[in-house]
Amino acid sequence: MSTDTVWDVALRQLDLAAESLKLSPGVHEVLRHPRRTLEVSVPTRMDDGSIRVFKGYRVHHNTSRGPSKGGIRYHPSVTLEEIKALAMWMTWKCALVNIPFGGAKGGVVVDPGALSAAELERMSRRYASEILPLIGPEKDIPAPDLGTNEQVMAWIMDTFSTREGFSVPGVVTGKPLSIGGSAGRSQATARGVMYITLATLKHLGRSVEEARVVVQGYGNVGANTVELLADQGCMIVAASDVHGGVYNPGGLSPHRMNRFKQEAGTIFGYEGGERVSNAELLELDCDVLIPAALEGQLTEENADRVAASVIVEAANGPTMPEADEIFTERGLTVVPDILANAGGVTVSYFEWVQDLQAYYWSEDEVNDRLRSIMEASYVSVLGLAEDAKVSMRTAATMLGVDRVAAAHRTRGLYP
Ligand code: NAD
């Protein structure tokens, strides 16, 4: 079994793209390293008066095309290596969809569900304060990721603004609408996943109405993807969260599942189907599998048993390289994360532009612009994959790396 870390995986993907691009060794070496990494301690007063110190990170992988951009993750398994990999993927993703950002990521080693709302607020504000030297609308703009949400973004925006002495909405994206968020941002990642899934089905000549879909992860991305794809006519046959999943070959009702989740805090135990584990869910009979939780879910252990013929990576890094090879041999279509989930950062870019101009767009305008960027990016990735005879992942990485490398060549190396 592979012992590669997620950072090894990210480097391997870069190396493959660099080889196909015949990238100069100097630029390749620069891109293999994050530009800067910050590790912080986040002392937090707990409700019982005790103090706990959490470990946090913020990594800027690359800033050659503009300020860096990337989410903040709260999860007990966060490591510096993971944040470095996620930051590198943000660099390629922003360049692939051609928005003027570099790549960053942040994280805190914490189980947010185990903290009270007041503890979470104090921890988030202290973390924001510790990474303050790195963030700002012209420098680095955080956003939500696994375990964080628009409330956490609001606390970060308020902490930054209070320290500056005036409101700075452009310091984070994925904020509530009331403080400068964008219409359409909360569903943007899922909407992008939906546009890409529809484009893939169309390209393969498959009917949307006959597509049976399985989604792993039922958070911001997973739950919205389920809802949007069901609205398009797809049949959702299984979904899961960290506790486990529910499967019904005759189709699940997203509306009822959402109601169950609101009451129970999980979809595990929803009685519209039979219970399945997360491992079983990945191997269920379906057409489209959408991992929307964590990295490293599809491995050499289970890749042979994946029954879907299309995998759309809503999560970052769900497929290990060994699984990728097996999927290629088996002729599965794998739409890579940096393309499939780029809707989130694209609308984050729209939010930042709106904040800087203090001029806000309608949801239809946001969704139309998102759609055209996602569809154009899909066409470029598919075109390059066919021309260069490489996987869609390598093609997407090549497009991103090539744009970043061009910026490096044009700017030159300081001093
Ligand atoms: P979230 O915290 O809102 O939801 C995560 C979901 O995954 C929850 O339902 C949780 O129960 C489930 N989960 C956690 N661990 C699991 C496990 N071991 N097995 C199965 N399910 C598990 O997070 P999110 O924002 O929806 O992010 C999900 C994925 O999408 C992450 O990989 C993230 O990096 C990626 N992503 C998010 C955005 C965004 O805008 N939020 C953008 C691009 C990519």
The CATH number for 269's domain is 3.40.50.720
Where does the pLDDT of residue 364 fall: very low under 50, low under 70, confident under 90, or very high at 90 and above?
Answer: very high
- Asked if residue 197 and residue 90 are part of one domain, the reply reads no
Where does the pLDDT of residue 4 fall: very low under 50, low under 70, confident under 90, or very high at 90 and above?
Answer: confident
- Name the residue range of residue 282's domain: 188-331
Annotated catalytic residue 84: no
- Count of domains for the chain: 2
CATH number for the domain harbouring residue 94: 3.40.50.10860
Where does the pLDDT of residue 407 fall: very low under 50, low under 70, confident under 90, or very high at 90 and above?
Answer: very high
Summarize pLDDT for 278-328 with one digit per residue, the tens.
Answer: 999 999 999 999 999 999 999 999 999 999 999 999 999 999 999 999 999
- Rg, the chain, Cα only: 20
| 267 part of a folded domain | yes
Q: Of 331, 355, 374, which marks where a domain is finished?
A: 331
- Asked if residue 262 and residue 142 are part of one domain, the reply reads no
- Asked if residue 325 and residue 199 are part of one domain, the reply reads yes
User: Which residue minimizes the CA distance to atom 35 of ligand 1?
Assistant: 315
| 7 part of a folded domain | no
- Asked if residue 192 and residue 139 are part of one domain, the reply reads no
Q: Of 288, 313, 331, which marks where a domain is finished?
A: 331
Summarize pLDDT for 145-183 with one digit per residue, the tens.
Answer: 999 999 999 999 999 999 999 999 999 999 999 999 999
Mean pLDDT of 363-382: 98
pLDDT reading at 413 higher than 70: yes
| 45 part of a folded domain | yes
- Asked if residue 156 and residue 243 are part of one domain, the reply reads no
Pairing of strands 333-335, 212-216: unpaired
User: 190 CB less than 6 Å from ligand 1?
Assistant: no
Q: Is the pTM of this model over 0.95?
A: yes
Mean pLDDT of the chain: 97
| 178 part of a folded domain | no
Q: Of 303, 331, 359, which marks where a domain is finished?
A: 331
Report CA-CA distances (Å) from 205 to 160, 187, 396: 49, 27, 22
| 356 part of a folded domain | no
pLDDT reading at 3 higher than 80: no
| 51 part of a folded domain | yes
Summarize pLDDT for 38-60 with one digit per residue, the tens.
Answer: 999 999 999 999 999 999 999 99
Q: What's the 163 CA to ligand 1 centre distance in angstroms?
A: 31
| 22 part of a folded domain | no
- Asked if residue 153 and residue 211 are part of one domain, the reply reads no
Which amino acid makes up residue 372? S
Given a contact cutoff of 8 angstroms between Cβ atoms, the answer to whether 143 and 348 are in contact is yes
Mean pLDDT of 353-382: 98
Summarize pLDDT for 204-223 with one digit per residue, the tens.
Answer: 999 999 999 999 999 999 99
- Asked if residue 196 and residue 100 are part of one domain, the reply reads no
The SS3 assignment for 348 reads: helix
Mean pLDDT of 220-230: 98
User: 87 CB less than 6 Å from ligand 1?
Assistant: no
Q: Which residues contact 333 (CB under 8 A, 6 or more apart)?
A: 200, 204, 309, 310, 311, 392
- Asked if residue 146 and residue 201 are part of one domain, the reply reads no
Q: Which residues contact 397 (CB under 8 A, 6 or more apart)?
A: 13, 14, 16, 17, 92, 336, 338
- Asked if residue 119 and residue 58 are part of one domain, the reply reads yes
- Asked if residue 141 and residue 230 are part of one domain, the reply reads no
Which amino acid makes up residue 391? S
- Asked if residue 215 and residue 138 are part of one domain, the reply reads no
Where does the pLDDT of residue 26 fall: very low under 50, low under 70, confident under 90, or very high at 90 and above?
Answer: very high
User: 44 CB less than 6 Å from ligand 1?
Assistant: no
| Nearest C-alpha neighbor of 94 from the set 366, 400, 348 | 400
Among 93, 105, 202, 261, the active-site one is 105
- Asked if residue 195 and residue 95 are part of one domain, the reply reads no
Summarize pLDDT for 120-140 with one digit per residue, the tens.
Answer: 999 999 999 999 999 999 999
Q: What's the 34 CA to ligand 1 centre distance in angstroms?
A: 24
Mean pLDDT of 394-404: 98
* Beta strand segments in 235-343, E: 235-241, 244-247, 274-276, 288-291, 310-312, 333-335
| Nearest C-alpha neighbor of 6 from the set 69, 77, 102 | 77
Mean pLDDT of 351-377: 98
pLDDT reading at 1 higher than 70: no
Given a contact cutoff of 8 angstroms between Cβ atoms, the answer to whether 153 and 175 are in contact is yes
